[in-house]
Amino acid sequence: MEESSLKSGFATIVGRPNVGKSTLMNRLIGQKIAITSNKPQTTRNRIQTVYTDPKRGQIVFLDTPGIHKAKNKLGEYMVSVAASAMKDVDVILWLVEPDTEVGAGDSHIAEQLKKQTAPVILVINKTDTVPHEKILEVIAAFKDLLDFAEIVPLSAKTGDGCDVLVEQIFHYLPYGPMFYDEDTVTDQPMRQIAAEIVREKALHALKDEVPHGIAVSVEKMKERPEKNPMYDIEATIICERDSHKGIIIGKQGAMLKKIGSNARFELEKMLEAKVNLKLWVKVKKDWRDSDFLISNFGYRKDEE
Ligand SMILES: Nc1nc2c(ncn2[C@@H]2O[C@H](COP(=O)(O)OP(=O)(O)OP(=O)(O)O)[C@@H](O)[C@H]2O)c(=O)[nH]1
Ligand SMILES: [Mg+2]
């Protein structure tokens, strides 16, 4: 294929928390890079991944934290990450759930999108959860909020409609060579992905307010110089209260063991090696309102 017929550009995925942004990005690139959960505010940083089609070109996806009413400094940081990821991109994908009424959260996002210069594709996700006829009602509810470039219903879970979205995204990308090597998948360092996997397993295992106050830092990640690949990983789960620490550790350490073995299973798959995972739990009171601790746990403005 002629170099000059390739298209390459940036596509940012935005939307309320929990609408399936990270699930969609993972689905589109065909690999799990961003963690996902049924708890809102799972994603905290901008996560960049690359979709390469040697014939068509390259889409650089930016997954962002859900846009919500921030209740602490971490929340403010997350919302600002989403806002800045909408600037200077080629196309914005606004993901919504298949609701027939537009809520306050989505109206607020529509206002922000009006200020952007990039074309906006409305993506109605989770179509697998509603009868087919309902999709038309959802489209009717959203279609006049903005001058959408396209409206694409799909299911990130089943993959239904995802090809159409890729097609539409390429339509709005400029002609130009690929930005990254064909085998580049993400800008996330391995250590960061490892920390996120531990956080995901904690999100899945814990209930109520505990998961929201968790951060994970990986202190050590080292490959042993042995014939069979093996990693030693040490990580700390940071929580906000002593009572949370008790819950995370669980009766006779059962909860921490569960988080650890689920994380180890996935780390071993990712690294294609045995993993010796050691987990600790530490309390940092109200860390989500401390600029110092927020940036210390990897949520930094300079990473935007
Ligand atoms: N049924 C169904 N569930 C979905 C679909 N896409 C995502 N989900 C589920 O929705 C929940 C939220 O998914 P995420 O991908 O973590 O959502 P997000 O928008 O990235 O959320 P934040 O990072 O918190 O903003 C998870 O339980 C997913 O499994 C879909 O197409 N159909
Ligand atoms: Mg997410």
Q: How many CB atoms lie within 10 A of CB 141?
A: 17
CB 186 within 8 A of CB 50: yes
Tell me if 38 CB under 6 Å of ligand 1. Answer: yes
Structure token pair of residue 57: 């070109």
Q: Could you give the maximum distance between any two Cα atoms of the chain, in Å?
A: 63
Report, as ranges of residue numbers, the positions in the chain whose pLDDT lies below 70: 1-3, 302-304
Q: What is the pLDDT of residues 34-55, one digit of tens each?
A: 999 999 999 999 999 999 999 9
Query: How many CA atoms does the CB half-sphere of 300 hold within 13 Å?
Result: 7
Q: Whose CA is nearest to atom 21 of ligand 1?
A: 18
The pLDDT, as a whole number, for residue 3 is: 61
Q: Which of 27, 7, 18, 51 is nearest to 186 (CA)?
A: 51
Q: Whose CA is nearest to atom 9 of ligand 1?
A: 20
| Substitution candidate for ligand 1 out of 22, 24, 26, 36 with most atoms within 8 A of CB | 36
Angle between helix 254-271 and helix 242-249 axes, rounded to 10 deg: 70
Q: How many CB atoms lie within 10 A of CB 151?
A: 17
Q: pTM for this structure?
A: 0.96
Q: Which of 111, 102, 105, 108 is nearest to 139 (CA)?
A: 102
Q: What is the pLDDT of residues 216-245, one digit of tens each?
A: 999 999 999 888 899 999 999 999 999 999
DSSP state of 207: -
CB 49 within 8 A of CB 19: no
Q: Beta strands of 74-165 (E only): which ranges?
A: 91-96, 120-124, 150-153
Angle between helix 21-29 and helix 162-171 axes, rounded to 10 deg: 80
The ligand whose atoms approach the alpha carbon of 42 most closely is 1
Residues forming beta bridges with residue 232, ordered by sequence position: 222, 276
Calpha distance 238→257 (Å, rounded):
16
Q: Whose CA is nearest to atom 30 of ligand 1?
A: 126
The pLDDT, as a whole number, for residue 303 is: 46
Cα 21 to ligand 2 centre (Å): 5
For each of the domains in the chain, give its residue range(s) and CATH number, in order of start. Answer: 3-171 (3.40.50.300), 190-303 (3.30.300.20)
Cα 252 to ligand 2 centre (Å): 32
Cα 211 to ligand 2 centre (Å): 14
Coil, helix or strand at residue 166: helix
Tell me if 22 CB under 6 Å of ligand 1. Answer: yes
Tell me which H or E stretch contains 14. strand 7-15
Residues forming beta bridges with residue 231, ordered by sequence position: 223, 275
Calpha distance 259→247 (Å, rounded):
12
Tell me if 41 CB under 6 Å of ligand 1. Answer: yes
The pLDDT, as a whole number, for residue 225 is: 86
